[in-house]
């Protein structure tokens, strides 16, 4: 290559580098250039088929058989003639694994008026509830109390949960755990004889209503709750959990709207038989 050709090649290279620099390219990734056009003419073979990974089913030591535990819960709940006996039956019940996994101290049954017109059903107790033996007494419970007071419902509620022992790490109770505790929840409702239910949070609404929809879809709507035996039917309204409202304050207006709707229906005069 003569000096003239060398100068032309150098100028061409400098011009190309300047073009790429203007386009934002300021680094070289490979030491050897790759002809992407030529490489694109070849289709790589598909990767070998792989079987989908299957997560192992966790095994919890000492986990009771759900059918046996449920039958035991049904018998214990049916034998309770009042709330005091029901509280004793729950405290003595050993068919729910949460009693041995999450609860540090005691069963958490209820607080509020024993003959309340409104039963509030939450998800499950947390650390503060486990310590005090009462549902909804932590930050979320304090917010719930303020909302109930603002709606004029303070002295009209019986508050409980779908499970009576704190889940480990405050996780959501499993459907099996809720199912085992269900006879106690239904017996409590039968003894209180309320006019309606307020289902607080998605875990409560799904368990009580046997629905798969999320709480944002369920909230603010009226449903008919039916007991397992079909002997009890009550209007039920799902609403947002106060723990969610503490994380998302903008959602409080929706929960407030739910409470106002419920309070208005609760205050309606009874229809003549």
Domain hosting 149: range is 66-266
Q: Is residue 216 part of a domain?
A: yes
Decide if 51 is inside a domain.
no
CATH number at residue 122: 3.40.470.10
Separation between Cα atoms, residue 207 and residue 161, nearest integer Å:
11
Provide the pLDDT for residue 23: 55
The model's pLDDT over 93-124, given as tens digits with 9 standing for 90+, comes to 999 999 998 777 899 999 999 999 999 999 99
Residue 258 is assigned to a structural domain of this protein: yes
Q: What is the pLDDT of residues 191-235, one digit of tens each?
A: 999 999 999 999 999 999 999 999 999 999 999 999 999 999 999
Average pLDDT score over the chain: 86
Asked if residue 11 belongs to a domain, the reply is no
- Please report the pLDDT score of residue 29 as a whole number: 56
The neighbouring-strand residues paired with 225 are 234
Question: Among the residues of the chain, which ranges form H helices?
Answer: 3-22, 36-39, 66-79, 83-92, 98-101, 127-132, 139-150, 175-192, 202-209, 215-218, 242-247, 252-266
Q: Specify the pLDDT at position 103.
A: 74
What are the tens digits of pLDDT across the range 160-177? 999 999 999 999 999 999
Number of H helices, E strands in the chain: 12, 6
pLDDT beyond 50 at 59:
no
CA-to-CA dists, residue 231 to 190, 204, 219, 227, angstroms = 9, 20, 25, 6
Query: What is the model's pLDDT at position 21?
Result: 60
pLDDT computed for residue 65 by the predictor = 87
Confidence of residue 2 (pLDDT cuts 50, 70, 90): low
The CA distances from residue 13 to 16, 30, 80, 149, 164, in Å, are 5, 17, 92, 79, 77
Query: Which tens digit of pLDDT belongs to each residue from 131-156?
Result: 999 999 999 999 999 999 999 999 99
Question: How many domains in the chain?
Answer: 1
**Domain annotation covers residue 105:** yes
The whole-angstrom distance between residue 174's C-alpha and the CA centroid of its chain comes to 10
Which has the higher per-residue pLDDT, 31 or 190?
Answer: 190
Whether the CB-CB separation of 199 and 238 falls below 8 Å is answered with yes
Q: Is residue 259 part of a domain?
A: yes
Q: Which residue(s) pair with 47 in the sheet?
A: none
229 and 245 in contact (C-beta within 8 Å)?
no
Domain membership of residue 55 (yes or no) is: no
The strand pair at 233-239 and 118-122 is best described as: unpaired
Please indicate, yes or no, if residue 23 is contained in any of the structural domains: no
């Amino acid at each position: 290559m003569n000096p003239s050709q060398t100068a032309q090649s150098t100028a061409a290279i400098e011009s190309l580098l300047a073009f790429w620099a203007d386009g934002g390219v300021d680094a070289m990734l490979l030491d050897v250039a790759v002809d992407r056009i030529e490489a694109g003419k070849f289709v790589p073979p598909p990767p070998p088929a792989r079987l989908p990974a299957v997560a192992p089913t966790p095994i919890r030591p000492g986990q009771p058989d759900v059918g046996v535990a449920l039958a035991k819960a049904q018998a214990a709940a049916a034998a309770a003639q009042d709330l005091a006996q029901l509280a004793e039956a729950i405290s003595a019940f050993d068919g729910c694994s949460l009693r041995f996994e999450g609860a540090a101290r005691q069963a958490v049954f209820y607080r509020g008026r024993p003959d309340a017109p409104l039963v509030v059903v939450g998800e499950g107790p947390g650390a503060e509830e486990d310590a005090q033996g009462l549902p909804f007494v932590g930050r979320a419970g304090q917010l719930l109390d303020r909302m109930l007071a603002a709606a004029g419902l303070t002295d009209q509620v019986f508050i409980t949960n779908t499970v009576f022992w704190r889940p480990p790490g405050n996780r959501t109770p499993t459907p099996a755990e809720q199912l085992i505790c269900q006879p106690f929840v239904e017996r409590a409702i039968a003894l209180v004889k309320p006019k309606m239910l307020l289902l607080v949070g998605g875990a409560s609404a799904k368990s009580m209503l046997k629905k798969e929809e999320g709480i944002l879809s369920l909230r603010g709507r009226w449903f008919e709750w039916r007991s397992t035996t079909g002997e009890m039917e009550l209007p039920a309204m799902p609403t947002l959990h106060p723990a969610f409202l503490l994380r998302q304050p903008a959602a409080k207006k929706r929960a407030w709207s739910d409470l106002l709707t419920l309070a208005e229906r609760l205050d309606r005069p009874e229809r003549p038989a």
